[in-house]
Structure 1
Amino acid sequence: MAMMDGIKRQLRSVIEWQNPDQDVLFMQWTENGDEIKNASKLIVGPGQGCIFVYEGQIKAVMEEQCLINLQTDNVPFWTTIKKFMQFFVSEHKVGIYFYRKTKILDQKWGTTSLIKYLDPKYQFPIGLKAYGNYSYQIEDAQAFFTTIVGSHGQVGIDEFRKIISARVIQPISDYLAECGYSYTDIDANREEIARGIAIKLAIVFRKLGFSISDFRIEGTDFDDDTQRRINRIADLTAEAQAAQAVGLDYANVQQLDALREAARNEGGVAGAGIGLGAGVALGQNMAQGLSLVAPAATPATEDIAGKLAQLKKLFEAELISEAEYSAKKQELLARF
C-alpha cells in the first residue's frame, strides 16, 4: 500500500488556474492538496501570476504567461521549489497561489464614515459623505500577499473593495483639510479634488502591493448638522441681498425681524404691555428708516411717490408685514 501511494504521488499533474471566477482576485491552488507531483506542469495563463509559498513565506513569483515542465525545465521558479522539497514530498506547508494581474475596472467606493474637516471660509466643522469609482491592479504580488492575503486561501474582489473603502477616508480628509476648498467649491472642483486625492491614495496603496487609477468622485453629500449650517448661511445671504436691493443694511432687517417677532409673541415685548398694535406701530416707525437712504427733505418738497415705491419694495421683499405696509402707506398718502 505504501508503494502504491508513492507511485500515485509521482503521477503527472497540471498546476493551473482554470476558468477563474470573475469575482476572485487571489486564489490558492488546492487540486492535489499541498503536494507537487513529479513531472508536473505549471501553466500560467494570460493576465495571471503565480506565487510559491513555503511555511507562510513567499519563495518565488512567476509574473509572465508560461508553460513549464517541472521535470525538464530549469527556471528559477522550479529551482526554488526543489530546494524545499525532497522527491516532491514535503513535511512542511507548501502553497501555490494564482492571482489576477489584469486591471480591475469600474469599482465603486463610498465613505463608510463622515469625512470631517474645518471649512476654510466659514470656519465651521464640515461632515462630508462621498462616493465614486476607480480601477486598480496588483503590481507587487509579494507585498499584496503579505499585507492583504495572509493565511486566506482566497480573496474576492468584493472583499477587497471593503478594504479599499476603509482606507480612503483618511487621505480624502487630509487632502480636503490642506487644499482649502469651502463647501461651496467642492462640486465645482470635483475633478481637481479627485486628482489630488488619487495622488495620496497611490502612495498609500503602493505599500499594499497594488496601484489605483481612474479615481473619480461621482457625488457628495453633507450630514444633517452641516446641512443646517449651510441652509442658515443661504438664508442670511438671501436676506442681506434683499435688504441691499431696497436700500437697507442688514442691521435694519434684523430690527424689522425683531419687531415682527415681538408683535407675534405674547410673552415677548407685547406681553410687557405694548400689545400687538404697539408692535405694528413700532414696525411702522422702523419703516420710516427709508429716510435714511433718501436725502433729507422738507415736508414741502418730500417725494411721496418715491417713498411709496420704496415702501412697496420692502413689502415685496417680505421685510415688513402687510399691516405695516398698509399703515405706512396710509400715513404717506395723508401727507398729500
Structure 2
Amino acid sequence: MDIFNEIKNKLSHEFIDIIEWLDPTNDTIVHRFERYQNEIKNNAKLIVREGQTAVFINEGQLADVFKPGTYTLNTKNLPILTTLKGWKYGFDSPFKAEVYFVNTRLFTDEKWGTKNPFMLSDDRFGLVEIRAFGTYSFRISDAGKFVVDVVGTDANFTSYEINEHLKSLIVTRFTDTVGEANLPIELYAANTSELSETCQEVMQPEFGRVGIALERFYIENVSMPEELKKEIFEYSRLDKLDMVKLSQFKAAKAMEAAAKNEGGTAGAGMGMGMGFVLAQQMGNMMAPQGQNPVFGAQKTDAPAPPPMPAHTMYYYGLNGQQSGPVTFDRLKELFANRTINRETLVWKQGMQNWTALKDVDELKSFLGGNTPPPLPTA
C-alpha cells in the first residue's frame, strides 16, 4: 500500500496538466515554473496571462517564447523540443523543458542617484561638485534575451537584483551626458526636463542590449554645495541689476536713515549735512546734463579741464619671458641699472612687432651721446 501511494505521488508530480503562474509579489521579474525533473506531460495546457511571457529553455538553450494566450503543448507545436522519452506505464510521452515566466509589466518609481558627488568644469566658477537623483521606469522588451543574458538559472529573479546593475549604468551614462552637455552650472537645475529626455535617449541602447526598455527617466533634483548656490544667486542678481538704479536706491535709503536721526542738535546738523551731500550725489546721477543737480539751474562753473594724458606703457623681453607693462620712467630705470640693454626687445600699443630698444625713437635717449653741440663762437 505504501509503495502504491509513493508511485501515485511521484506520478502526480511528473505529469502536470496546467502550467501557469500568478504573481503574488510586486517585485518579481522572472519566475521559474518548478516541477519534478522538469517533465511536462504531452498536450499539457500553458496559460500565459497579460503582462507575462513564457520562455522555454531546453538543455540550456532557448527553445521558444510564448506571448499571452492559452496553448496546448505537444511535439507538433514544439518541434524544437525533440528530446522525448517514452513512459513504460503507457501514458503520453512527456518532454523535458524549463519554463520561465517573465513579468513584462511596467516597473515604475525605481530610484536612482549618485552615491558620490561628481566634478564639472564651469567657465565662471571653476570645478564644482554636484549630485543628482530621480526615478525611472522600465519593462522587459525581449524576454528570451533577458533570460539568457541576465537571469541564467535563477529560479526567482526580482527587480532588486537588476536595479543595482541599472543604477550603476544610469549614473555612469548620466555623468557622461551632463559633462558633454557643457551647460552653465545654474542651468542644470532649471532644465531637468530637457536633460532627462537627452539622458533617456543616450541610455536606451544600453538597456536594450539585455532586453530591457527604459520607458521613463526623470531627474528630480540636481544639488550642489550651499556656498556655490549663494555665489550663483549673487552672480545672477548682479547680472540682472541696473547698477545706476541700485546706487540711487541705496542713496535714498541712507537719506531716510539720516532724516530719522534724533541725536540732538549736533546730530541733526550732521544728518542735514549728510542728507544734503547724498541729495547732491543723487542729483548728479539723475539730473539732465547742463543743469544744477540740486536746484535745477544752469551751471555757471568754468568748463571742466581735459582728461589727464595717459601714460604710454611698454612691454620688454627678459630672459626669454615677456615682462611689463611699465612706464617710460620705469623702463629708463631698468636701462640705467643694466637690467635691460640696447638690444632688449620692447613693444607698445601701436607697434606691429617687437623692436630692439635702440631702434625705438623715443627710447634712443637712454643710450647717451645726445649731448648738445658746442655754442657757436662770436
Flag whether TM exceeds 0.5 (same fold).
yes
Q: Of residues 107, 111, 127 in structure 2, which corresponds to 1:108?
A: 111
* Distance in structure 2 (CA, Å) of the matches to 1:215 and 1:158: 18
What is the aligned partner in structure 2 of residue 214 from structure 1?
216
Structure 2 residue runs of 5 or longer lacking an equivalent are: 87-93, 249-272, 283-378
* Distance in structure 2 (CA, Å) of the matches to 1:233 and 1:310: 35
Superimposed CA distance per residue, residues 51-95 of structure 1 (whole angstroms, 9 cap, x where no aligned partner)? 112343322211x21222224x732xx2222x13434355xxx42
- Determine which structure has more spread, i.e. the larger CA radius of gyration: 2
Superimposed CA distance per residue, residues 19-77 of structure 1 (whole angstroms, 9 cap, x where no aligned partner)? 44222111111144522234422111112101112343322211x21222224x732xx
Superimposed CA distance per residue, residues 191-241 of structure 1 (whole angstroms, 9 cap, x where no aligned partner)? 11011011011121111211112221112212x4xx434445656787997
Look up the equivalent residue of 1:30 and give its one-letter code. E
Look up the equivalent residue of 1:110 and give its one-letter code. G
What is the aligned partner in structure 2 of residue 41 from structure 1?
45
Structure 1 residue runs of 5 or longer lacking an equivalent are: 248-302, 313-336
* Cα distance, 1:36–1:310 mapped onto 2, change above 3 Å: farther
Give the 3-state SS of the residue equivalent to 1:84 in structure 2. coil
User: Identity rate of aligned residues, in percent?
Assistant: 22
What is the aligned partner in structure 2 of residue 284 from structure 1?
none
What is the aligned partner in structure 2 of residue 22 from structure 1?
26
Please say if 1:228 is aligned against 2:231.
no
- 8 Å CA contact 2:13–2:36 kept in 1: the answer is no
* Cα distance, 1:216–1:236 mapped onto 2, change above 3 Å: closer
What is the aligned partner in structure 2 of residue 56 from structure 1?
60
- The Cα of 1:178 is off from its aligned counterpart by 1.5
What is the aligned partner in structure 2 of residue 202 from structure 1?
204
Determine which structure has the larger helix proportion and give its number. 1
* Distance in structure 2 (CA, Å) of the matches to 1:174 and 1:47: 34
Q: Of residues 155, 158, 161 in structure 1, which corresponds to 2:157?
A: 155
* Distance in structure 1 (CA, Å) of the matches to 2:134 and 2:56: 36
More displaced, 151-160 or 198-207? Answer: 151-160
What is the aligned partner in structure 2 of residue 118 from structure 1?
121
More displaced, 185-194 or 15-24? Answer: 15-24
- 8 Å CA contact 1:25–1:157 kept in 2: the answer is yes
Look up the equivalent residue of 2:176 and give its one-letter code. D
- 8 Å CA contact 1:25–1:155 kept in 2: the answer is yes
Please say if 1:136 is aligned against 2:138.
yes
* Distance in structure 2 (CA, Å) of the matches to 1:156 and 1:11: 28
- The Cα of 1:161 is off from its aligned counterpart by 2.7
* Root-mean-square deviation (Å): 3.4
Superimposed CA distance per residue, residues 79-119 of structure 1 (whole angstroms, 9 cap, x where no aligned partner)? 222x13434355xxx42100112222333322333343323
Look up the equivalent residue of 1:22 and give its one-letter code. N
Displaced runs of 4+ in structure 1, greater than 3 A? 1-12, 227-247, 303-312
* Distance in structure 2 (CA, Å) of the matches to 1:152 and 1:229: 47
More displaced, 156-165 or 238-247? Answer: 238-247
Once the two structures are superposed, the pairs formed by residues 1-336 of structure 1 within 5 Å of their partners are: 4=7, 8=12, 11-32=15-36, 34-62=38-66, 64-71=67-74, 74-75=76-77, 78-81=78-81, 83-87=82-86, 88=94, 94-119=97-122, 121-122=123-124, 124-222=126-224, 224=225, 227-232=226-231, 245-246=246-247, 307-308=277-278
- The Cα of 1:9 is off from its aligned counterpart by 6.3
* Cα distance, 1:54–1:112 mapped onto 2, change above 3 Å: farther
- 8 Å CA contact 2:170–2:203 kept in 1: the answer is yes
What is the aligned partner in structure 2 of residue 322 from structure 1?
none
What is the aligned partner in structure 1 of residue 317 from structure 2?
none
* Distance in structure 1 (CA, Å) of the matches to 2:277 and 2:59: 92
Give the 3-state SS of the residue equivalent to 1:164 in structure 2. helix
* Distance in structure 2 (CA, Å) of the matches to 1:12 and 1:242: 82
* Distance in structure 2 (CA, Å) of the matches to 1:304 and 1:16: 91
TM-score (ref. length: structure 2) = 0.55
* Distance in structure 1 (CA, Å) of the matches to 2:145 and 2:43: 30
* Cα distance, 1:106–1:48 mapped onto 2, change above 3 Å: same
* Cα distance, 1:175–1:310 mapped onto 2, change above 3 Å: farther
Superimposed CA distance per residue, residues 144-184 of structure 1 (whole angstroms, 9 cap, x where no aligned partner)? 12332123212212333332212111111111112121221
* Cα distance, 1:133–1:9 mapped onto 2, change above 3 Å: closer
